[in-house]
Chain A
Amino acid sequence: DAKTTQPNSMESNEEEPVHLPCNHSTISGTDYIHWYRQLPSQGPEYVIHGLTSNVNNRMASLAIAEDRKSSTLILHRATLRDAAVYYCILKSGSNSGYALNFGKGTSLLVTP
């Protein structure tokens, strides 16, 4: 399985943009880049995903490097409710039934 590398933790001030990086140098051509987050005491929540082009939705933006070896999740204005563990995951048919291979993720702390 292709692996991802994320910083263990990041900190942001409320109402400021947050850029969460992810390295995936062994990504294959058919791997989709997915981001999920898990708020304390809750199940994971889908955030965004993409293949090659940058993507935007109501929650966040995903910037994918041209060589696809890295990506960045962008929260445009962090709120206290965005404090969570963010997971960058490569979704592939080679994983068990397209399951998600969660690593340790990045723990985002948002301070007022």
Chain B
Amino acid sequence: EADIYQTPRYLVIGTGKKITLECSQTMGHDKMYWYQQDPGMELHLIHYSYGVNSTEKGDLSSESTVSRIRTEHFPLTLESARPSHTSQYLCASSLRGSAYEQYFGPGTRLTVT
């Protein structure tokens, strides 16, 4: 069982609201990731981090921002939610290197009305 948690699991919120999606892992992994997945579509990387104070943008452009102040915590923030942000957001973590698997959280399903 992976020790990676995401809250909330589901969120319905109005346009213009600021939201923060939480992601925490207790495995001591350096690497953390955020992926976005629209229903029935592929997962796309939107942010990643090599470790504390490191954040990078992923392959898919996103209006969200992330921070990494603690190893175990990698929150994602949307300053002003829009209907186009409606999607599933998946957090993952791993040890550094190609030989290590990634562990995924259960995801946050966001709906912006």
Chain B interface extent, by class: 20 to 34
- A32 and chain B: residue at smallest CB distance: B98
Partner of A97, one of B35, B48, B90, B103: B48
Residue B104 interfacial (CB < 8 Å): yes
Q: Write out the residue numbers on chain B whose beta carbons fall within 8 Å of the beta carbon of A91.
A: 98
**Is the CB–CB distance between B101 and A46 below 8 Å?**
yes
Report A20-58 CB contacts with B as 1/0, cut-off 8 Å.
000000000011101010000011111001010000000
Q: Does B87 contact A (CB under 8 A)?
A: no
Quick one: closest B residue to A51, CB to CB? Answer: B99
Taking Cβ atoms with an 8 Å cutoff, the residues of A that contact B are: 30-32, 34, 36, 42-46, 49, 51, 91-93, 96-104
Those 6 A-B pairs whose CB atoms lie nearest each other, nearest first: A43-B104, A46-B101, A97-B48, A102-B43, A32-B98, A91-B98
